[in-house]
Amino acid sequence: MNGFRQRRGGSGREGGGADPGARSGREGGGADPGARSGRERDGADPGARTRILDAAETLFAGGGYEATSTAEIARVADVPKGLVFHYFPRKIDVLVTLVDERTLVEEAPEVEAVPGDAAGTLSKLARRLPLRASPAMRRILFREADTHGSVRERLGRLNGEIIRRARFALGLALPTPRGDAARLEVAAVTFAAVLLYQENLCQLTGHAIDPDAVAELIAHALG
């Protein structure tokens, strides 16, 4: 155990005096430097991992994975460089963890379908998806998918999951014959593409894409 242990009575030094080293440490009011550095090495800072991922998200979205060093991630996260490696042994582990954790589509406790309302159904679904709130993660996904197989695989799974959820919710919202399978499939694929590609489309056109407006357009097409 790091730190000093207080001695009482006759234990320790002759005459029952307190250990001067321990006394001076207490009088100074400071924590034991050895204990502090041990905590840093052991990753005891509960917010450090999140700050590392936050920093990586900002840096990867801004300059790209290859252009970002581990030292820069540590600097922006305000942690020792060694602590980055404590959580993520390799730099690629930072990217993989970031993509896996921050594009996770959690199962909804209730179905997103709004009976008779295709636009409301799609908008409700979109609000549950992490990508809607994170343009940075969309940029990272599409930029790094070209060169990193794990990111490309995650992008494919994410696209498939959004299509599945949209198709299922639309099928409940629009019962047959209005909601025939082929049309709902096209609607789900279109909406998933808009959600995933909206940041790229904005960069190409200079105009922000509103998923709610796209939901209204798809609902109109479905009749």
pLDDT tens for residues 118-141? 999 999 888 877 665 578 888 898
Alpha helices in the chain (DSSP H): 20-28, 33-42, 48-63, 70-77, 81-87, 91-102, 118-127, 135-145, 149-173, 181-205, 211-222
CA distance 199 to 25: 55
What distance in Å separates the CA atoms of residue 93 and residue 73, rounded to the nearest whole number? 13
pLDDT at position 35, please? 39
The amino acid occupying position 112 is E
Q: What pLDDT score was predicted for residue 44?
A: 58
Q: How many CB atoms lie within 10 A of CB 61?
A: 20
pLDDT of 178 reads 56
- Say which DSSP state 119 is in: H
Distances (CA, A) of 36 to 40, 41, 81, 103: 6, 9, 16, 34
CA distance 47 to 197: 31
pLDDT at 14: 41
pLDDT at 140: 92
The ranges assigned to domains in the chain are 48-97, 118-222
Look at residue 67 in the predicted model and tell me its pLDDT: 97
**Which pair of structure tokens corresponds to residue 49?**
């991992």
Contact partners, residue 177, CB within 8 Å, separation at least 6 = none
Sequential pLDDT tens for the chain (223 residues): 444 333 344 444 444 444 444 444 444 444 443 433 444 444 457 799 999 999 999 999 999 999 999 999 999 999 999 999 999 999 999 999 999 998 887 666 566 688 889 999 999 888 877 665 578 888 898 889 989 999 999 889 989 988 998 998 898 888 765 558 888 999 999 999 888 887 677 767 777 778 888 899 998 888 7
Among the CATH numbers 1.10.3720.10, 3.40.228.10, 1.10.10.60, 1.10.640.10, which is that of 48-97? 1.10.10.60
